Amino acid sequence: MNYFQFAIRNIMRYKKRSIVTIMTVSLGFTALGVLGGFLNNIFSRLKGQAIVAERLGHLTFAKSGFKENGKLEPEKYLWNKKELTDILGVLRNDPSVDLATPRLRMFGVTSNGKASTIFITEAIVSADDQKLIKTNVDGRTEVDGLITLNSKKGESSDVIIGSELASMMKIGKGQNITLLTSTKDGIANALDVKVVESYNTGNPATNDKFVLSDFSMAQDLYDTDGAERVVVTLKEPDKIKETKEVLLAKLKSAGYQLEATTWEDQSASYKKVTTLFGVIFRVLTIIISVIVLLTVTNTMQMVVTERTKEIGTMRAIGMLKNQVIKLFCTEGLIMGILGCLAAAPVLLIISTILRVSKITFTPPVASVPVPLVMITNPVNIVVIFLLFCVVAVVSSFLVSRKIANQLVVDSLMQSN
Amino acid sequence: MVQEVIAKTKLISFEDITKTYQLDTQKVHALRGVTFDIGKGDFIAIAGPSGSGKSTLLNLLTLIDTPTKGRIRYNNVDVDTLSDNEKTLFRNKQIGIVFQSYNLIPVLNAMENVAFALQVQSVSTAESLDRAAQMLKEVGLGTHLRHRPSNLSGGQKQRVAIARALVTNPSIVIADEPTAALDTKTGMEILDLMKELNEHKRTTFVFSTHDVRIINSVDHVIQIEDGRLIN
C-alpha cells in the first residue's frame, strides 16, 4: 500500500464529495481551456491580418530613425536605387528569408471628380505580394477574401481600394479615381488610377482609406527610383528575434545601418487587443483558480474533520506529521489530475461542435467575420493543468497542515 | 546487586507525574504526583472508576500527551527531551497501542491495517504484508486477511488491532479498555490472547479496565482514584 493507492481509496470512500470536487476542477479547466482556445483564435486571426492582410510581413527594414521620424521627413529615409538593390541582395541571399520586397507608403487626397477624401497607399511589387498573401500563419496560408494586384494582366496604374472607401466614393470596378500627393521634393503630383477591385482590409481603421498600388506607379508618383522600406517574410517565423539580429548584422557589414521592426511592434491593434485580452484571461484564471482552491479546501476541510480520529490513530501508530500532509496532498493532487483529465473530452467535444457548426464572429478591431473555433495551445493546456494541480495540492496542504500539527491526544478524542 | 537487577528489568518509570488540564476557568487535576515503575514482561492492569485518571495515564504512557510536571523514562531515556517526530518514531518502534474502539482504518483490509504500522517505518510493502499476515495468523485471523473492518466482528477487529500493535515487535503494548466494547466471552478470549502473547513473546502489556474478572487475572494492578495511586 503506497500513498497513491491509499489516497485513491480515500477519494473513493467519499464518492459524492470527491465527484463534486473533481467536477469543479473540471469545469474550471474547461472554462479556461475554451476561453484560452477562443483567445488563441482571435490572436491568430489578428496575427494573420497584420502579417498578410496589412502586408506587414514578419520584419520591416528601414533606415535608422524611420519609425520615429519617417512620417515627418520621409525623403530623408529613402534609399536610392543602388542602396535598394544592395539591401535586397543581402536579404534575398540569406537562407532564412523567404521573401524580401520593397515598399513605399504615401498619404494624400483621392477624388472621384465630385468628392474627395484622404487615402493611404501601400505600394507593392505585385509578384512579391502574390507570394506574401500566401504566407503561412499558424498553419493557415489563405486569408478569406484577400486579393492583390496582378501585374501580368493589369497595368501599373491599377489599384485595389478598401471596400469602405469604395462605398464612400461610390466607385465601382473599372472606374477611375485621382490620387493627389506630393513628391519626395514636396511638389504636388497627381495621377489617375483605375480601380480594379475593392476588398475589406479587415481593419475598420484602414478600410475607408486604403489604396493598394503598384510599386513602379508609386515610384513615379513620388518621383523616386528607390524605396523607403523592405518587408521580409521568414522561413522560420518562430525565430524572428534571432533572425532579425543576424540580418541587421549582415546589413551592417555590407555598410547599411538599418532598423528592423517586427510585425508585432508595428501592429498597434494586435498589441492592444492581446494586452487587453491577456489581462482579462489572467484575471479570469485567478478567479477560477480561487474558486477551485476554495472548493478543494472545503472538501478537504470536511474530509479532515471526519477523519480527525483516524489521523490521530495514524499519528499514534507512528505516522509522522509530514507523512499525514503528504497523504492529503496526494489526495488533492489526484483529484486535481482527475478533474483536468475529465475536462479533456469536454474540450474536444466543444471544439468539434464549433468546427462543424461553422459559426463565425467578428473579432475586435476587425471588420471581417472569422470562424469561431478554438485553437488549443498545448503549452497553455499544460500550464492550466499544472496550475490546477498546484492549487489542489496547496489547498490540501493548508488544511492537512493544521490537523497534522494538532496534538495526537486531541485528534483521538474526536468523537466520530 | 539487587538494585542492578531491578535497573536492568525496569522498562518504564513514572516519577512524580502531574497532569493538569485547564477547563475554561477551572483547573482539572487529572494526575497528582504519580510514581511507579513497569518492568519488562509485566502484565499490568490499570484500574479505577471513571474520571480517576486512567486514560490520562495511558495517554502519557503512549507518549501522545505530555505531563505538566514530573519525568517519564523509557529504558532510562527521558522521553520529555524527545521532539515530536522523535516521539512518533519511538512510539512506532517501542510501543504498540490498542484502542478501546479498535480505530482500524476503514479503507484498508485486515492485513493492510496491520502492515500500515510497518509501512510508516519504510518497511517494503511485500515484507510488511508478509509480516502482517504472519501476525494475523498468530492472533487467529489467518482466514480473514483481506476482510475490511466493516466485515469483521468486534472481537475480530480487536484481534486485528492487537496484531497491529504487535507487528513492530514493541517493548510494550498499551491497551485502553480492550475488552470494553466486547461481550464477556469475546473479552475473555482477547484477554487470553494477550496473556499468551505476553508469556510467549515476553512483551509487556499494560491496559486499563473496569472488569473485575480481568483485574483478578493479571500479575499486577495499578489502582488509581482521583488522580492518585491508591495501590
Last residue of one domain, picked from the residues A247, A264, A281: A264
The 3-state DSSP class for residue B152 equals coil
pLDDT at A39 over 50: yes
A84 shares its domain with A210: yes
Positions in chain B whose pLDDT score sits under 50? 1-8
Residue A414 pLDDT exceeds 80: no
pLDDT computed for residue B204 by the predictor: 92
Which of A241, A264, A287 delimits the end of a domain? Answer: A264
Bridge partners, B185 (sequence order): none
Does residue A246 sit in the same domain as residue A220? yes
More confident residue, A387 or B186: A387
CA-nearest of A211, A200, A221, A187 to A111 is: A211
Is residue A16 located within the same domain as residue A126? no
Output the pLDDT for position A152: 60
Query: Which residues span the domain enclosing A77?
Result: 56-264
Q: Do A318 and B88 touch (CB under 8 A)?
A: yes
- Indicate if A391 and A319 belong to the same structural domain: yes
Output DSSP code: residue A275: H
Q: Do A244 and A209 fall into the same domain?
A: yes
- At position B55, the amino acid (one-letter code) is S
Whether residues A92 and A218 fall in one domain: yes
Is residue A36 domain-shared with residue A78, that is, in the same domain?
A: no
Based on the domain organization, do A252 and A284 belong to the same domain? no
Evaluate whether B28 touches B18 at the Cβ level (below 8 Å): no
The pLDDT, as a whole number, for residue B7 is 45
pLDDT score, position B77: 86
Give the up-direction half-sphere exposure of residue A189: CA atoms within 13 A in the CB hemisphere.
17
Q: How confident is the model at residue A133 (pLDDT cuts 50, 70, 90)?
A: confident
Q: Is A170 left (phi over 0), alpha (psi -120 to 50) or beta?
A: left
So what's the pLDDT on residue A146? 74
| Residues above pLDDT 70, as percent of chain A | 96
Task: Flag if A412 and B64 touch (Cβ within 8 Å).
Answer: yes
Other Cβ atoms less than 10 A from the Cβ of A131: the count is 14
| Residue ranges in A56-135 assigned as alpha helix (H) | 66-69, 81-93, 126-132
Number of domains in chain A: 2
Residues of A in contact with B116 (CB under 8 A): 1, 314, 317
Mean of pLDDT over chain A: 89
User: Do A408 and B108 lie within an 8 Å CB cutoff?
Assistant: no
Residues of chain A positioned with their CB less than 8 A from the CB of B117: 317-318
DSSP A232-258: EEES-GGGHHHHHHHHHHHHHHTT--E
- In which band, very low, low, confident or very high, does the pLDDT at A151 lie, cut at 50, 70 and 90? low
Chain B nearest C-alpha distance from A22 (Å):
20
What's the pLDDT band for A119 if we cut at 50, 70, 90?
very high
Q: Which residues contact A121 (CB under 8 A, 6 or more apart)?
A: A105, A106, A107, A108, A159, A179, A181, A210, A211, A212, A213, A218
- Strand-pairing partners, residue A158, are A194
Summarize pLDDT for A197-253 with one digit per residue, the tens: 988 877 788 889 999 999 999 999 999 999 999 999 999 999 999 999 999 999 999
- Chain B environment of A312 (Cβ under 8 Å): 64
Q: Is the pLDDT of residue A312 over 50?
A: yes
**Residue A282 clears pLDDT 80, i.e. is over it:** yes
End-of-domain residue from the set A232, A264, A296: A264
Please report the pLDDT score of residue B5 as a whole number: 39
Query: Is B95 in a helix, a strand, or coil?
Result: strand
Could you tell me how many helices (H) and strands (E) chain B has, helices first? 8, 10
Residues A321 and A195 reside in one and the same domain = no
Look at B97 and A9 and tell me if their CB atoms are within 8 Å: no
What are chain B's domains? 2-229 (3.40.50.300)
* pLDDT band of A311, cuts 50, 70, 90: very high
Residues A173 and A64 in one domain: yes
* Residue A309 distance to chain B (closest CA, Å): 8
Contact by Cβ (8 Å): B32, B20: no
Q: A13 to chain B: which residues are within 8 Å by CB? A: 106-107
Which residues of chain B does A323 touch, with a Cβ-Cβ cutoff of 8 Å? 120
Within chain B, residue ranges assigned H as helices are 2-9, 54-61, 84-94, 110-119, 125-138, 154-166, 184-201, 212-217
Q: CA geometry: angle at A390 spanning A387 and A393, to 5°? A: 150
Backbone angles phi, psi at A82, to 5 degrees: -65, -45
- Residues A282, A248: one domain? no
Question: A37 and A118 share a domain?
Answer: no
How close does chain A come to B9, measured CA to CA in Å? 25
ipTM of the complex: 0.89
Percent of chain A clearing pLDDT 90 (strictly above): 61
Contact A335, A392 (CB under 8 A): yes
Residues in chain B, overall count: 231
Question: Pick from B19, B13, B23: which is nearest to B59 by CA?
Answer: B19
